Structure 1
């Protein structure tokens, strides 16, 4: 039994090994070796350039992620300057791979303002915090940048320096900046969520005339339809209008002039 298992293992081992370990090597001519060496010498520079290009693109991607598109980052003009630098670096490397690098460069260049729109909103919030707390703007910005890595040793060193600079208002500024970062969305997910809710209503009504009137009716319906469920328990049974204004209103059909809602008869 043991010899049988050993034979099977040996067979599996032979199958797992490259064929050239067991097959006799065919004789090669010296001219073939020289051709392979010449071909290898031609490919090595290409390999080196490919590795260098991959390293450059990886570095640019990290800059874009951590220094430009990161929520806790510099002000909008600095982000725009860094963004333009990254796009220019991609443009210089575009001839090496136009189908991929060129496509990415064009996409970034065309969406520059949309991708960085959140930074302008965040700058306004940080300026408001600096004005409300009477703290210098660069210290508020430093508090924002401190949110990048809240677990490293450098974080606690910067925390102590910033705490000493702001003094007794440090925790107030930190809380306000944290809330500002939390309330500033970087993506278009909110718009996409609304579009997903409206898409079915819009695509199924192409045959209706008076598109503007239909949009007004749709807006009225969305604003006055009461929530049947929600993550926030205070919104259940309320319409967006009631949730925003805090004032109750009649049923949407009644508001349209169709009379009071009649009770259901059983």
Structure 2
């Protein structure tokens, strides 16, 4: 297989989130895709099987397991496809449903992709789950932002949303990896979305990702989509609105994710970002 390597949500290969992209994985079985993702070593690699009707079937693998959906690898896949076949609309068949993606060339010459997630939703975080999660994170309840309550959010994958009251708490990421890995495996969570609100439309995020075999993800498009749905469902923002999520800064891999949240609760969340080859 021809594995391409792209960085998503940045214009500099030294920033953003790296993803592997295989634009034609026809005939590859699960074991081969998992082994390839492990060899690539990025948090996710996307494997595409083109079809005669123009749709693309896409599966996502971390170095340890298949994940249901991955935002940054979707952005990377769309840009890699545009670099070879031209910009325009794409229809991706994923394990969580059909995801529409469009690509275009920006004024600075970079290719930009926008995905629209499946319909988002949230669920309460049960008291014992929240207590266990905070313990694994080594956070205390009084360090949380009461204006952004803990919740499990979904837009293709599940992510607990935990909001810090100040930027310093977000900057100090030192969690119990075995304990968090076990909890996330039991609950089917993909990453833990740790956020801090800088302004009404600007947020900083860090995403713990032990199920993928990495401590932290530098840009998490699926979590950004889920977070947009969380804010809308809990009426924590006025919609329609465009949000900016800054991620990866504490890792030295700055990333910028643009999230567009429509008013209709049944509508998916749009996530936009650039991607460039490594």
Taking structure 2 as the reference length, the TM-score comes to 0.21
Q: Which has the higher strand share?
A: 2
Q: Which has the higher contact order (CA 8 A, sep 6+)?
A: 2
Higher gyration radius (CA): 1
